[in-house]
């Protein structure tokens, strides 16, 4: 599109100006993904909505009740309910028959998603494929142990369920540069890696119950989420064929969700086991979730900011209870909400201003990538 950037030294710093192209070329996929059911009041709004002209990694997702999306979700729910109901029915009759039916369903679903459905519709169904692979492996494992009285071993779950599902996920993710809608598979990979860490913990400690949660499980969830967040930041900062808007967004959202759930689990476990030191656990919880919100501002993503807001709301409630207990005055606790509210507004304004420079840097990186490609 002949994009170019110029920078002018001003008193407030360096700003980057992007001349608007006079002509843009829109593919059918770009129209369906970014422009359909949207109206624009100016040429500038239209150009900003196009992924090729927006800052690298910025999200153009519009929250709307798209009829096709609604029908796709409803159809997915009905089909999944039907197929898994049949799998459970046949498995109840014969475990071998259930495993065979599940395997056939996996192959048929793969062919439909990969060959027949449009990419924007297939993106919502890709996560079901690794689940189907894992379910088939689980039924196969049950076939092997149906005559044994012992519980299913973690090693069996790892070999027959987790590893096949993980390998299948990586196999289908290899075409992410060509089909960014497969970015939904990032969720499967995250959960599979976390499940693998739980299985390893159970094999090492000898614990055979799948329902036991511990510090190590929540810590591994937090660590994996942190790795996902780091990967999303690297994709955002260093454009490549893999750094699509979809992959950046899904990786970041799944990562911050893992960090949020992991830190909440660690806080709850710490509060239960060490209730005298419960207040100390809120300090790292607050810092981590505030950092999550800051990252959401920087990368222009709303989901991390939403999670951070929910977490900080919980922190505010705990702070209000603490102030009320210390002062013996309920009014002081209520006033704490107001003070924290003003603090959040001030922090949001500061984060929003600082994110402008981060966005300009992202545009400069995108321009460098385009010049290199040319």
pLDDT of 301 reads: 83
Three-state secondary-structure class, residue 13: strand
Structure tokens at 14: 């360096």
b/e per residue 275-295 (b: at least 16 CB within 10 A):
eeeeeebbeebbebbbebbbb
Its sign, for the CA torsion 306, 311, 316, 321, is positive
Distance between CA atoms of residues 225 and 222, nearest Å: 5
pLDDT of 62 reads: 41
Beta bridge partners of 6: 17
Asked if residue 199 lies in contact with residue 162, where contact means CB atoms within 8 angstroms, the answer is yes
Per DSSP, the residues of 56-72 read: TT---------HHHHHH
Asked if residue 165 lies in contact with residue 132, where contact means CB atoms within 8 angstroms, the answer is no
List, run by run, the mean pLDDT of 10-residue segments along the chain (374 residues). Answer: 39 47 70 61 73 46 55 75 76 80 86 81 84 88 69 83 93 88 92 92 72 76 94 86 85 93 88 83 88 84 87 83 79 74 71 54 50 51
Its sign, for the CA torsion 86, 89, 91, 97, is negative
pLDDT of 147 reads: 57
b/e per residue 231-243 (b: at least 16 CB within 10 A):
bbbebbbebeeeb
Strand blocks (E) in 47-170: none
Distance between CA atoms of residues 16 and 297, nearest Å: 19
pLDDT of 145 reads: 72
pLDDT of 220 reads: 92
Distance between CA atoms of residues 95 and 87, nearest Å: 10
Q: Note the pTM of the prediction, 2 decimals.
A: 0.70
Structure tokens at 109: 């679903």
Asked if residue 52 lies in contact with residue 26, where contact means CB atoms within 8 angstroms, the answer is no
pLDDT of 17 reads: 45
């Amino acid at each position: 599109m002949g994009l170019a950037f110029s920078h002018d030294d001003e008193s407030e710093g360096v700003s980057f100006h992007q001349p608007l192209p006079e002509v843009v070329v829109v593919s059918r996929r770009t129209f369906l993904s970014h422009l359909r059911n949207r109206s624009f009041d100016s040429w500038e709004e239209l150009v900003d909505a196009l992924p090729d002209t927006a800052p690298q990694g910025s999200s153009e997702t519009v929250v709307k009740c798209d009829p096709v999306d609604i029908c796709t979700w409803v159809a997915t729910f009905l089909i999944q309910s039907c197929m898994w109901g049949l799998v459970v029915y046949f498995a109840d009759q014969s475990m071998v028959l259930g495993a065979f039916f599940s395997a056939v369903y996996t192959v048929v679903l793969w062919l439909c998603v990969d060959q027949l459905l449009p990419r924007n519709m297939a993106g919502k169904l890709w996560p079901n494929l690794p689940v189907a692979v894992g379910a088939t492996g689980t039924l196969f494992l049950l076939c092997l142990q149906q005559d044994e009285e012992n519980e299913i071993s973690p090693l069996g779950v790892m070999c027959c369920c987790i590893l096949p599902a993980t390998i299948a996920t990586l196999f289908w993710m290899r075409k992410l540069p060509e089909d960014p809608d497969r970015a939904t598979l990032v969720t499967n990979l995250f959960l599979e890696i976390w499940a693998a860490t739980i299985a390893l913990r159970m094999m090492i400690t000898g614990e055979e119950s799948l329902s036991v949660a511990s510090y190590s499980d929540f810590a591994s969830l937090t660590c994996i989420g942190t790795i996902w967040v780091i990967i999303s930041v690297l994709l955002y900062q260093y454009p490549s064929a893999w750094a699509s808007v979809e992959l950046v967004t899904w990786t970041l959202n799944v990562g911050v969700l893992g960090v949020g759930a992991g830190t909440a689990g660690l806080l709850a476990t710490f509060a239960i086991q060490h209730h005298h030191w419960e207040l100390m656990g809120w300090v790292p919880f607050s810092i981590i979730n505030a950092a999550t919100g800051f990252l959401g501002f920087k990368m222009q993503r709303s989901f991390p900011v939403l999670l951070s807001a929910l977490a900080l709301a919980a922190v505010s409630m705990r702070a209000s209870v603490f102030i009320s207990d210390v002062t013996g005055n309920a009014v002081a606790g209520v006033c704490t909400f107001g003070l924290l509210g003003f603090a959040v507004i001030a922090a949001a304004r500061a984060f929003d201003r600082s994110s402008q420079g981060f966005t300009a840097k992202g545009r400069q990186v995108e321009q460098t990538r385009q010049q290199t490609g040319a």
